[in-house]
Amino acid sequence: MTSISIWRLALVFMATFVTTAALTFSPSEAKSLCSKSEALTVQLPDPASGRRYEIYISLPADYSQRPERNYPLLVIADGGRAFPKLSCDARLLAENSQVDEAVVIGLSYALGEALEDSRRRDYTPVRLPGSGRIYGGAAAYQNYLRDVVLHYVEDRYRLASGRRIFWGHSYGGLLGAHILLTEPSLFQTYILGSPSFWFADEAIYRLEDDYAKRRHQLNAHVLFYVGGLETSRHDPARKGKTNDMVAGMQKFQSRLRSRGYEGLNMSSKVIEGTDHISAVRPGFMWGLRAALGN
């Protein structure tokens, strides 16, 4: 087990994103707070696939001083890219009394693999024959998340019962939707940002159909967000692709609402003036305030 400075990792991200959302703290406050925090890096291999993964763990500032307290768990997909800045944002919001403190976990990509290859496989629900790439490993990765990652952190940290939160953006949001529709109790709150519901001719709707045939309850708090510029126009932040992510989010939310699932609570936000990338930080902060606001 090693320690790495969140601030050292997050400095570039903070400089890039500090102007993209309305904040109540300054860059100097961010540096001061995040420099106090250290992330633990733990290697957790997947015994089923043999792949080597890491998780990154950020504990609340008062964790060691409050042995009587249990904390919510926030799991961040795409942790290899998103964990440094978002774990810092979670700390900043808590320090400013906007959200409850949480244990924050970042999920790495498979070690020794290209980032895009790892997330393309692990975060998508079905294969794409003939694509020349490996897709469709979400179910296997979900097993790893449940049986290895969550088992590890629950054995070692004081976590509040019934307060697990998942955050994912793009393919990460698609992974969250897969978990929601196959094993909703794995988390109580899902923050799904710019989710790739277009993937494989909207294969996520087949999962939703299967769920609706079997269940009438969906006990979850689901928070959707998307950038207001993520429409069918050319979007360089999405490598020039033209999927209308705004309409896609609204369509999926409408489908869930039409089912009348018992126990389902949904909210959504279109973040005006942002694209697929610049929506990440304000979307995360909006979702975290909704999930952990105090």
What is the model's pLDDT at position 94? 96
159 vs 136: CA distance, rounded Å: 31
pLDDT digits (tens, 9 = 90+) for 236-260: 655 656 689 999 999 999 999 999 9
Over 90: is that where the pLDDT of 229 sits? yes
Average pLDDT over the chain, rounded to an integer: 89
Give the CB-side neighbour count of residue 284, counting CA atoms within 13 A. 31
pLDDT digits (tens, 9 = 90+) for 55-86: 999 999 999 999 999 999 999 999 999 999 99
What is the model's pLDDT at position 238? 58
Within 8 A by CB and 6+ apart from 203, the residues are 125, 126
Which residues lie across from 58 on neighbouring strands?
A: 39, 104
Q: Which residues of 77-110 are buried (b: 16+ CB within 10 A; e: fewer)?
A: bbbbbbbbbbbbbbbbbbbeebbbbbbbbbbbbb
What is the model's pLDDT at position 38? 74
Q: Which DSSP state fits 293?
A: B
122 vs 136: CA distance, rounded Å: 7
Please report, for residues 75, 77, 100, 102, 124, the alpha-carbon distance to residue 176 in angstroms, rounded to integers and kept in the order given.
11, 9, 22, 19, 10
Over 90: is that where the pLDDT of 29 sits? no
Q: What is the mean pLDDT of residues 192-219?
A: 97
Q: Quote the pTM value.
A: 0.89
Over 60: is that where the pLDDT of 25 sits? no
Q: Percent of the chain beyond pLDDT 90?
A: 82
Which parts of the chain fold into alpha helices (H)? Answer: 6-17, 27-34, 79-95, 115-122, 138-144, 151-156, 171-182, 199-202, 204-214, 245-259, 280-292
Give the CB-side neighbour count of residue 20, counting CA atoms within 13 A. 23
Q: Which DSSP state fits 227?
A: E
Q: Where are the domains of the chain?
A: 2-292
What is the model's pLDDT at position 294? 77
pLDDT digits (tens, 9 = 90+) for 155-204: 999 999 999 999 999 999 999 999 999 999 999 999 999 999 999 999 99
Banded pLDDT at 35 (limits 50, 70, 90): low
Q: How many Cβ atoms sit within 10 Å of the Cβ of residue 254? A: 9
Number of residues in the chain: 294
Q: What is the mean pLDDT of residues 39-65?
A: 97
Over 80: is that where the pLDDT of 102 sits? yes
**Can you identify the CATH homologous superfamily of domain 2-292?**
Alpha/Beta hydrolase fold, catalytic domain (3.40.50.1820)
Q: Which of 9-23, 33-47, 92-106, 156-170 shows the lowest mean pLDDT across its residues?
A: 9-23
